[in-house]
Structure 1
Amino acid sequence: MDGRAELGAFLRSRRARIKPEDAGLARYGERRRVPGLRREELAQLAGVSVDYYVRFEQGRGETVSDTVIGSVATALALTGTERTHLFNLARAISPGPAVAPQRQRLRPGQQALLDSMTTTPAYVVGRRTDIIGFNALYAELLGSLATVPPAHRNTAWLVFLDDDVRGRYVNWESKARNVVAYLRMDAGRHPGDPALAALAEELTNRSEDFRRLWADHEVADRTHGGYSMRHPTAGDLTLNYESFQASDDPDLSLIAYSAEPGSPSHAALNALAEHAPLRY
């Protein structure tokens, strides 16, 4: 991916969502050709010259200090995750060769842990939303995971290009937005990852929904949340998930799902676990 283009697109997308009056700037009733803040207005709010900010947005600011980047982030009212993403993008354009990250693998002990979680759908996700490992109940919940080729065991690929998986999410749009936001975050952390660039290109070429969401430049980290899933025999299940980051690899996380004890979803999940194989 072009780091300079990514930085510029992210900054423009964040300028576009801020109204001048919300930032304490007068509009004087003039017509504006673009939504949100102009470059000169953002430069004023960040306390830098217009030329300095323009160079930064165009990716020509290799020597921009952390203080300036922080001032721009504050002026744009970025969230903590967005601020981290901005710093990642800014650092990625610094001189130096891009380094592709090493392949991630699951240790036997990690797979054994997954297999022991017989009543809890769980999987390990890595960079690019790659599914590094999973247990039988998660495969049963997702549907296509056990039979899909290993090269396509990737959450983004499945959510956008596998009709069976797409149909498993009651609110597919919410899941899709989250997945794209995770990919954007990864792109900032690893701008030299050719596999991520290839995945984004394939999804852009094959999915109109992905193109639409990718253009929003939203970013997010996995923490916790919930989805409503639809299983062909168990019916609809309301599930919560928690994310646990690996201590030796910050790009590797265990995601485990659960249902509210005593709820219909909990009963359905237990019934599903009884009929799921011990492992795939």
Structure 2
Amino acid sequence: TQADELLQFSSREASERNLLRMVFTAPDLRRRLPDWQQDASNMLAQFRCDLAVAPEDPVMQTQIEELCQLSPDFRHWWEASSMEGYNRGISSLLDTEGEHHTYTHETLIVDEHRHLKMVVYFDC
């Protein structure tokens, strides 16, 4: 699929197939995100909003702990606790050949109580 070609999910361990985690911990992806700082900051702000709905969720708490250990940027921004402007996905990405892709996206709530969301990307 195009998503796997761009994000290389199949080459990652199942526990690493989370876009927020990948944005902060995968150097190969970070190099291919022209607006990395803005996209990462927006995604973190959205994650904070999601966490507000379930602040004691053990899966989300584990993700926070892991990302704080794995990413100095995540840890720094997490401690800053900003919720300024958020967005659920990335806005542009360079594919593995260096071609630039721009995206819009929509979020579908899969299960409100388990906080599962699916972000669908549309190539512009």
The TM-score range, normalised by the shorter chain, is: 0.7 to 0.9
Q: Does 1:230 align with 2:94?
A: yes
Alignment-mate amino acid for residue 4 of structure 2: A
Structure number with bigger Rg: 1
Figure out how many residues of one structure are paired with residues of the other and give that number. Answer: 121
Map of 1:2-151 to 2, 5 A cutoff? 136-143=1-8, 145-151=9-15
How far did 1:191 drift?
1.7
Tell me what 1:173 maps to. 37
CA, structure 1 residues 158+256, in 2 after alignment: closer, same or farther (shift >3 Å)?
A: same
Measured after TM superposition, the shift of residue 190 of structure 1 is: 1.2
Alpha-carbon displacement from aligned partner over 1:87-116 (angstroms, at most 9, x marks no partner): xxxxxxxxxxxxxxxxxxxxxxxxxxxxxx
Stretches of structure 2 that go unaligned for 5 or more consecutive residues are none
| Residue of structure 1 equivalent to 2:67 | 203
1:129-156 deviations in Å (ceiling 9; x for gaps): xxxxxxx21111113x111111111122
- Write the letter of the residue equivalent to 1:213: W
Native 8 Å contact 2:20 2:43 kept in 1: yes
**1:222–1:243 Cα contact (<8 Å) kept:** no
| Structure with greater contact order relative to length (CA < 8 Å, sep ≥ 6) | 2
- Consecutive unaligned residues of structure 1, counting only runs of 5 or more, are 1-135, 261-280
Alpha-carbon distance between aligned partners in 2 of 1:236 and 1:158, rounded to the nearest angstrom: 19
Distance 1:254 1:196, change over 3 A: closer
The corresponding residue for 2:27 is 163
Structure 2 residue aligned with 1:118 = none
Does residue 252 (structure 1) correspond to residue 116 (structure 2)? The answer is yes
Aligned partners of 1:160 and 1:176 also within 8 Å: yes
Contact 1:142-1:168 at 8 Å conserved across structures: no
Match of 1:239 in 2: 103
Compare 225-234 and 194-203 and name the one that shifted more: 225-234
Taking structure 2 as the reference length, the TM-score comes to 0.81
Matched to 1:252, the amino acid is L
Residue type of the partner of 1:175? D
Match of 1:215 in 2: 79
Structure number having the greater strand percentage: 2
Question: Alpha-carbon deviation of 1:170?
Answer: 1.0
Question: For 2:63, what is the secondary structure of its paired residue?
Answer: helix
Contact residue 43 and residue 87 of structure 2 kept, 8 A: no
User: How far, CA to CA, are the matches of 1:176 and 1:222 in structure 2?
Assistant: 9
Residue number in structure 1 paired with 2:54: 190
Question: Structure 1 residue 157: deviation in Å?
Answer: 1.6
Distance (whole Å) between structure 1 residues aligned to residue 117 and residue 57 of structure 2: 19
Q: TM-score, normalised by structure 1?
A: 0.39
Residue 179 of structure 1 aligns to a residue in which SS? helix
Residue 139 of structure 1 aligns with an amino acid whose one-letter code is D
Matched with 1:62 is none
